[in-house]
Structure 1
Amino acid sequence: MKTLQKGDKKLINAWAFYDWANSVYSLVIATAVFPIYYESVTSGNNDVVQFLGTDFNNSSLLSYSLSFSFLIVAFMSPILSGIADYTGNKKRFMQFFCYLGSLSVMSLYFFTGPDTLWIGILGTVLASIGFWGSIVFYNSYLPEIAFPEQHDRVSAKGFMYGYTGSLILLVFNLTMVMKPEWFGIVDSSLPARISFLSVGIWWVGFAQVTFYHLPNNVFHKKPEKDFIFKGLRELKGVTKSINKQTDLKQFLTAFFLYSIGVQTVILLAGIFGKKELGIGTSKLIIIILLINIVAIFGAYVFSRISEKIGNIKTLKLTIAIWCLICLAAYLLDAKNQYIDIQFYALGGTIGMVLGAIQSLSRSTYSKLLPVTEDHATYFSFFDVTEKIAIVVGTFIFGFVASITNSMRNSFFILAIFFLLGYLVLSFMKKKKGV
């Protein structure tokens, strides 16, 4: 096979295609079909389920499981990234997590109710670890397959592919779930379970395009036998390097603060709409589709804006919009006769800045990196920052909602985190290309 050179359009498209492959997990499994299916098959016995000999609220158990998976990834990814960078075997690590995630998603087909709850929880945890674990190594390829001036467009292209691909599969899966008779399906649980199979097959199948073209061991490293200790030494060196680089530390601090808001809104906006505002399930699904359609254009538009005014200014613009979104959510009133239209408008606005802030965060961090061969290790810190932000954000959201008895107040708190992220970015010194 001919080795594709850095900046080659075919190589860039192959890299971005992994977003097409894996984004079906985040939309179908993490957001749309699986949470609804999980609630439906575990809602008996007053929403109480038993796991490992202990009684849990069904929603709380799912939340705990996801938080546990994030902590596992946050702990593992820096260590494994250091080893991957030292050995030059980054693609193999990415493949391992891809296969772990896709097979775990497919195992959810066998989760049929409380009797097989262990399959549902174990599959959820391993699928999450597989997804987020592979993302670390995927993101770290960006500086190796594209030049700095291409990073914004390339990063945006990945998210655009991801939103498009996941939207196609979600529409198919939702059609099967809502109209099972069209497919000759009688068992009410079967459409959702087939959806889980389709996600795993889609993920592992389309990922082969990426794996075929992505290079391995770009810097031609020849590791010694004690690669684990040498990998840990690699991690230690990158940690010291980040501590010395003010711009990287400032950006990671800002990224942590606004990611608390972004990731929490993504994960809990649906619950807010259903429980706090009384939005029906069918309307929530329409909003999910709307967000993903608009996000495709948002990623494209803001990547072009960043080329005109720079990454930091564009990020500050998106953060300001996110802050307004949270304040608007705080002001929403379930009794308003136009609440459905207002929530649709809020969803459309979220979509416009969702793809933008995700793609720009990735490309901005990539541009701030020093000249290095340790891209996976550097990006593991980016990933860990996001994972800790998710754990902190979801905890704060739930805690504020529980003590104030209103999720609207939680959105007000999230607006403060966006404001803090904006302020930290404002203190960053101007840097060429960023």
Structure 2
Amino acid sequence: MGADTVGATAEEGVAERRREQRGWYVYDWACSVYSTSVLTVFLGPYLTSVAKAAADADGFVHPLGIPVRAGSFFAYSVSASVILSIFVMPLAGALADRTGRKKPLLGTAAYVGAAATAGMFFLSGDRYLLGGLLLIVANASLAVSMVLYNSFLPQIAEPEERDAVSSRGWAFGYAAGALVLVLNLVLYSAHDSFGLSEAAAVRICLASAGVWWGAFTLVPLRRLRDRRVAAHEDAAPVGSGWRQLMTTLRDMRRHPLTLAFLLAYLVYNDGVQTVISQASIYGSEELGLEQTTLIVAVLLVQLLAVAGALGMGRLARVYGAKRTILGSLVAWTLTIGAGYFLPAGAPVWFFVLAAGIGIVLGGTQALSRSLFSHLVPQGKEAEYFSAYEMSDRGMSWLGPLIFGLTYQLTGSYRDAIVSLVVFFVLGFLLLARVPVRRAVQAAGNPVPDRI
């Protein structure tokens, strides 16, 4: 084969990789609107109001006969969705690695989640149980889809590209979230002009996130391609998923440094995910802020998170991903600690808090994903990323549970929000102890110059 032919083949390979990367970014663009508009902004306050409408004289609802304070129902529903995810995600990851058919699995998870989100249009009156069910289905579907989505990263990006590619994916997601929030803000603020009630405007905003998610998922399903697997890997029946999960967990014991990183990530990301899902509840119920104020605050988070993800990606090229993440955890600790002291009815200080969160949010998530991609043995991407996603969304049940229990016991959202500081402090201590260069070598991967 001549040099020109080899050069042309290499260029074609690079072009194909870039094409897949662009398609990969679009799934963040598609699904992040759910995380932003539904989980972070509208559903928490709205589902809480629906639960309060169904509550008894003491302020409790009784799902399955269990007395639950109406103000804790949303947090408990988030925890329930995450617990369900724990059982489903490893099966999806094992099945994807066995069959090599990540795209059909990604599409199934995405469209189940999008349909559940669109169904939130029918959440009205005192239908708090319907809201909890749709939240559980949508959240679990998102978690499964992210296992499959993240597992493409080592296949579509070279080791030295992954920090940048992962950061761009997060930036796309935050940009989409910001765009849709602007549209939501227009609809919600001028709902009277459109002949809508406030509740109807919220339900349209919720449902539109599902439509957006489903529509833009078509792009990655066209651009990404499945990789063939060896015949012996494809031989096991689908019913062996749980046995494959146990095999994956045993295999991960051979990589204790990868497990050490996952433990650290599990802890600090639990805090991150809880802040994302409960911040609007804190703003509306404890600080007495209007829904419009909350939308603007989250919009500010989205815009700054785009810059933060890209900026921290550049910092990682200079200082390494681990050091940059550690710095972000210090910022998280200070920001959430300061949130305890925010005065009620003061939007400006809530905006300051939102700015602090936005600057570190995207970078913490993007760099954690790219760092983990270096710790995955080749051929185990989906299985290992199912464990990662369990740490990301699947194990992030403890934070919402503690948040909900703290409020149920104290009746104070201030106590609930400050309880999350421990996740960032402990996560910092655990991550600081992980020798990431040795971890990359132990996984059998090339070590980047900066990590």
TM-score by length of 2: 0.87
- SS of residue paired to 2:420: helix
Corresponding letter in the other structure for 1:160: A
Give distance in 1, aligned partners of 2:290 and 2:67. Answer: 29
Give distance in 1, aligned partners of 2:151 and 2:354. Answer: 30
Corresponding letter in the other structure for 1:75: F
Specify whether residues 233 and 41 from structure 1 end up closer, same or farther in structure 2 by C-alpha distance, changes over 3 A only. closer
Could you list the per-position Cα deviations for residues 363-417 of structure 1 after superposition, in whole angstroms to 9, with x for gaps in the alignment? 11111212x2121110011111234542111222333445555443444443232
2:348 to 329, 341, 350: 341
Give distance in 1, aligned partners of 2:128 and 2:423. Answer: 36
**Is 2:24 aligned against 1:15?**
yes
- Contact 1:259 1:389 (C-alpha < 8 Å) held by counterparts: no
- Contact 1:87 1:221 (C-alpha < 8 Å) held by counterparts: no
**Is 2:74 aligned against 1:65?**
no
- Contact 2:267 2:427 (C-alpha < 8 Å) held by counterparts: yes
**Is 2:184 aligned against 1:173?**
yes
Specify whether residues 410 and 29 from structure 1 end up closer, same or farther in structure 2 by C-alpha distance, changes over 3 A only. closer
2:43 to 25, 34, 38: 34
1:75 to 87, 90, 93: 87
Within 5 Å, which residues of 2 pair with 1:35-434?
A: 35-44=44-53, 46=55, 48-49=60-61, 51=63, 56-114=68-126, 116-183=127-194, 185-219=195-229, 226-228=236-238, 230-334=240-344, 339-370=346-377, 372-387=378-393, 389-403=395-409, 406-431=412-437, 432-433=447-448, 434=451
- SS of residue paired to 2:52: coil
Q: Let me know the Cα RMSD of the aligned residues.
A: 2.6
- Contact 1:306 1:314 (C-alpha < 8 Å) held by counterparts: yes
Specify whether residues 315 and 45 from structure 1 end up closer, same or farther in structure 2 by C-alpha distance, changes over 3 A only. closer
Give distance in 1, aligned partners of 2:20 and 2:133. Answer: 35
Give distance in 1, aligned partners of 2:214 and 2:231. Answer: 28
TM-superposed deviation, 1:152: 0.8
Give distance in 1, aligned partners of 2:406 and 2:48. Answer: 23
Could you list the per-position Cα deviations for residues 257-299 of structure 1 after superposition, in whole angstroms to 9, with x for gaps in the alignment? 2112212222222222333333333322221111111111000
- Contact 2:53 2:125 (C-alpha < 8 Å) held by counterparts: no
Specify whether residues 132 and 151 from structure 1 end up closer, same or farther in structure 2 by C-alpha distance, changes over 3 A only. same
Task: Give the gaps of 5 or more residues in structure 1.
Answer: none
Give distance in 2, aligned partners of 1:398 and 1:119. Answer: 20
Could you list the per-position Cα deviations for residues 38-97 of structure 1 after superposition, in whole angstroms to 9, with x for gaps in the alignment? 344443355555655666544433333322221111111112211221111111111111
- Contact 1:84 1:231 (C-alpha < 8 Å) held by counterparts: no
Give distance in 2, aligned partners of 1:56 and 1:346. Answer: 30
Give distance in 2, aligned partners of 1:83 and 1:134. Answer: 13
Specify whether residues 298 and 224 from structure 1 end up closer, same or farther in structure 2 by C-alpha distance, changes over 3 A only. closer
Give distance in 1, aligned partners of 2:146 and 2:25. Answer: 12
Corresponding letter in the other structure for 1:297: A
- SS of residue paired to 1:369: coil
- Contact 1:86 1:230 (C-alpha < 8 Å) held by counterparts: no
Corresponding letter in the other structure for 1:238: T
Could you list the per-position Cα deviations for residues 89-147 of structure 1 after superposition, in whole angstroms to 9, with x for gaps in the alignment? 11111111101011111122222322x54543332221112211111111111101111
Give distance in 1, aligned partners of 2:315 and 2:358. Answer: 17
- Contact 2:78 2:400 (C-alpha < 8 Å) held by counterparts: no
Specify whether residues 346 and 121 from structure 1 end up closer, same or farther in structure 2 by C-alpha distance, changes over 3 A only. closer
Specify whether residues 149 and 218 from structure 1 end up closer, same or farther in structure 2 by C-alpha distance, changes over 3 A only. farther
Identity of aligned residues (%): 32
Specify whether residues 149 and 194 from structure 1 end up closer, same or farther in structure 2 by C-alpha distance, changes over 3 A only. same
Moved more, 395-404 or 169-178: 395-404
Task: Give the gaps of 5 or more residues in structure 2.
Answer: 1-11, 438-446
Corresponding letter in the other structure for 1:172: L
- Contact 1:107 1:119 (C-alpha < 8 Å) held by counterparts: no
Give distance in 2, aligned partners of 1:56 and 1:401. Answer: 11
- Contact 2:41 2:280 (C-alpha < 8 Å) held by counterparts: no
Could you list the per-position Cα deviations for residues 220-258 of structure 1 after superposition, in whole angstroms to 9, with x for gaps in the alignment? 657656422554454333212221213211111110121
Specify whether residues 187 and 44 from structure 1 end up closer, same or farther in structure 2 by C-alpha distance, changes over 3 A only. same
